[in-house]
Amino acid sequence: MLDNWFKTTVLMAGIVVLFATVGMLLGGKTGMLIALIFAGGMNVYAYWFSDQAVLKMYNAQPVDAHTAPEFYGMVAELAQRAGLPMPAVYIINEDQPNAFATGRNPEHAAVAATTGIIRLLSPRELRGVMAHELTHIKNRDILISTISATMAGAISALAQFGALFGGGHNSQGERNVSPVVAILIMIVAPFAAMLIQMAISRAREFGADAGGAEISGDPEALAMALKKIEAYAHGIPMETADAHPETAQMMIINPLTSEGVQGLFRTHPATEERVARLMAMRGNTATGHGGWR
């Protein structure tokens, strides 16, 4: 837990520095001051409200024991096995199979799954996926991933705003930055934000896989689910993810249909390695399919 709090602090500090740098390049000292104030406000907003912002972005719809009894009951059973408070449960009307968890702590957490993943996977496989997402909650990874997604998006917006307006002017009426430099900032700043996200470590996916296998008692089910999702996800577009690539690292499998240069900035470990590690866990976890086969 302390390790994740340290990572969160480093993330926020890194984003503030990046905001200040972009602000200074675009508007000198005044630009840096404005960017620092904006970064401080965004940090506060990201901590308290970024989870709801992400859920709204994906038009996630809340469900309960009456509207989605099997899925909701599955999450409830797994949360109890994990010793977690019951998270809010959402379904996203998207064909691409994927899922994510969000929130600032286990007491204020949510899990979301697409209609595509619910259709594609068997109940046993879906159970493994939701156990993975609950592990992110248990390990408090969700605060890091949600804040990083929100702040990376803000960095991109700031850089694009600066490029569109070509930077500010100094007291002599001269531009603080040329339009060419402003365009370079628009390109480089989002990549810098991605690097900060990556610095928080892709290792948390391996940890969530292992924890999910332990909670569900069925590492093979999660391994099979990952292979299925990988096979289908990149062939089925998810427009929201493509429009907001900073949220890709929240998903169980990278949702971007065409990674392009962003493939150099992968936020997920190779699925083959994740599957291999899970298959090696067979026999080392207590079985617990909970009636979902």
Q: Which amino acid is at 3?
A: D
Q: What are phi and psi of 109, to 5 degrees?
A: -125, 160
Residue for token pair 């949510």:
110
Question: Is 133 tagged catalytic?
Answer: yes
Give the 3-state secondary structure percentages of the chain, helix then strand then coil, rounded to 5: 65, 10, 25
Residue for token pair 């799954």:
113
Q: Any bridge partners for residue 109, and if so which?
A: 103
**Nearest-angstrom CA–CA distance, 238 and 227:** 18
Structure tokens at 162: 């600066």
Residue pair 74/68 in contact (Cβ under 8 Å)? The answer is no
Active-site hit among 94, 133, 205, 230: 133
The residues, ordered by sequence, that sit 6+ positions from 168 with a Cβ below 8 Å of its Cβ are 26, 27, 28, 30, 31, 175, 176, 177
Catalytic residues: 133
